[in-house]
Amino acid sequence: MPTQWESLANEHILGIAPYEPGKPIEELEREFGIHDAIKLASNENPLPPSDRVRQAIVTALAALNRYPDGSGFYLRQALAKKHGVSPEQIVLGNGSNELIELLVRAFLRPGDEAIVPHPSFVVYPMIVQAAGGVRVMVMLKDYRLDLEAMARALTPLTKLVFIANPNNPTATIVTAEEVEHFMARVPERTIVVFDEAYIEFAMGPDFPETLAYVKQGRKVIVLRTFSKAASLAGLRVGYGIADADAIALMNRIRQPFNVNSLAQAAALAALDDEPHVLECVRTIEAGRHFLYEEFKALGLQYVPSRANFILVDAGRSAADIYQRLLKEGVIVRPMTPFGMETALRVTVGTPEENRKLVRAFRAVLGKPSA
Ligand SMILES: *Cc1c(COP(=O)(O)O)cnc(C)c1O
């Protein structure tokens, strides 16, 4: 029986499974009687923002009585310069998540199809469904987006295609060559969204330069964020880059003050802080290699990662291992909701956190400690 409120609701949202946010770390410590718990569940950057970013935030505090700059003038100008586009080609969002919502609302008409890889970011199908669109789910192949199968799924009704690169939760990439083949098959009426939240961790000669498609005038929207490599997940700021006409449409439905003034100030300072990003990328790279070696020693299979997280196949119930790791004070993400019954996604942490994760795995798997 639907509740009275459900019978009043927009019918498109009724089929959507509610997002299950994790518990705050303090609550978990209380529940399990543990302390010094660590969270490696949300792909956050283990390093806090740099002093220069914190200073920018402190400076901006004095003007909190004012509304933020609704156009994000300086931040868009700096981003435009960095990427070699015009400020009119950039839209700011309350995290790149908000931009996924804005672009779906701007472009997806009820009944339009959106091609969504699976398993991938759960936000894509959720927002498509909420907008009355049709989700066309295309399974990954060998933990990677299957661009061949995604191209075959294109129909005259396809309005949007989502490409998370690197993909969450598998941390694999699609290459420049694969993307080039795919783009050659995408018709003019279809918009391709490249979600590059983890791009800083993935750089290499095989990684596609998707901004080139924007500059060629293709129907492409590139999404980036300050949440991952820039250590600013808590402030919520991301951006989209596309043709100025596409951005203008997204701006029509954007809340004027969607990005707060502390977030704008911090993001602007973070853009000037290459050394911080480099340090994070190096920390993550070293952490990945440390964890690969330890996982091998523990007999755990993993998917080599191009991001700040690793998909691990424990070979037995991930839900069970997740619960046992919790008792060891380590929070990871079981992939059970994706139908991957034995897989866990672990975020790469600081060296100390990574060692704690390994100790917890050892205890849970009943392996003698090294
Ligand atoms: C973490 C993540 C984001 C970032 O979202 P924000 O709203 O910018 O914090 C975007 N896409 C994917 C696939 C992610 O995993």
Q: Based on the domain organization, do 245 and 300 belong to the same domain?
A: no
Cα separation, 276 vs 229, in Å, equals 9
How far apart CA 220 and CA 223 sit, in angstroms, is: 10
**264 and 348 housed in the same domain:** no
Residue 344 domain-assigned (yes or no): yes
Q: Is 170 in the pocket of ligand 1 (CB under 6 A)?
A: no
Do 32 and 71 belong to one domain?
no
| d(CA 124, ligand 1 centre) in Å | 11
**Using CA atoms, how far apart are residues 213 and 220, in angstroms rounded to an integer?**
7
pLDDT tens column, 223-249: 999 999 999 999 999 999 999 999 999
Q: Are residues 40 and 61 in the same domain?
A: no
**DSSP-assigned letter for residue 18:** P
Query: Quick one: pLDDT at residue 327?
Result: 92
Q: Scanning the structure block, which residue is given the tokens 């037995």?
A: 316
Is the model's pLDDT at 21 over the cut of 80? no
Nearest CA residue ID for atom 10, ligand 1: 197
Residue 73 contacts residue 259 (beta carbons within 8 Å): no
The residue-averaged pLDDT of 147-171 equals 98
Ligand 1 touching residue 121 (CB < 6 A): yes
Give the pLDDT confidence of 31-68 residue by residue, as tens digits: 888 889 999 999 999 999 999 999 999 999 999 999 99
Structure tokens at 9: 């609701």
pLDDT at 71 over 80: yes
Tell me the CATH number at 138.
3.40.640.10
Which residue puts its alpha carbon closest to atom 3 of ligand 1? 197
* Of 218, 253, 273, the domain-final residue: 273
Distance CA 94, CA 187 (A): 30
Q: What mean pLDDT do residues 85-102 have?
A: 98
Residue 370, pLDDT score = 61
- DSSP string spanning 256-308? TT-S-HHHHHHHHHHHT-HHHHHHHHHHHHHHHHHHHHHHHHHT-EEE--SSS
Q: What is the pLDDT of residues 312-361, one digit of tens each?
A: 999 999 999 999 999 999 999 999 989 999 999 999 999 999 999 999 99
Same structural domain, 247 and 317: no
Residue 336 sits in which domain range? Answer: 4-47+275-365
**204 and 337 part of one domain:** no
- Classify residue 125: in a domain, yes or no: yes
Q: What atom of ligand 1 comes closest to residue 42's alpha carbon? A: 1
- Please give the share of the chain, as a percent, with pLDDT higher than 90: 90
Last residue of a domain, one of 273, 303, 331: 273
Is the pLDDT at 23 greater than 80? The verdict is no
Give the pLDDT score at 2: 85
**How far does residue 194's CA lie from ligand 1's centre (Å)?**
12
Do 79 and 264 meet the contact criterion of CB atoms below 8 Å apart? Answer: no
The reply to whether 222 and 316 lie within a common domain is no
Give the end of a domain, one of 273, 298, 326: 273
Nearest protein CA to atom 7 of ligand 1, as residue: 95
> With contact defined as beta carbons under 8 Å apart, do 181 and 163 qualify?
no
Q: Tell whether 114 and 260 lie within a shared domain.
A: yes
Is the same domain home to 206 and 313? no
- For the chain, the domain total comes to 2
- pLDDT for 35 equals 87
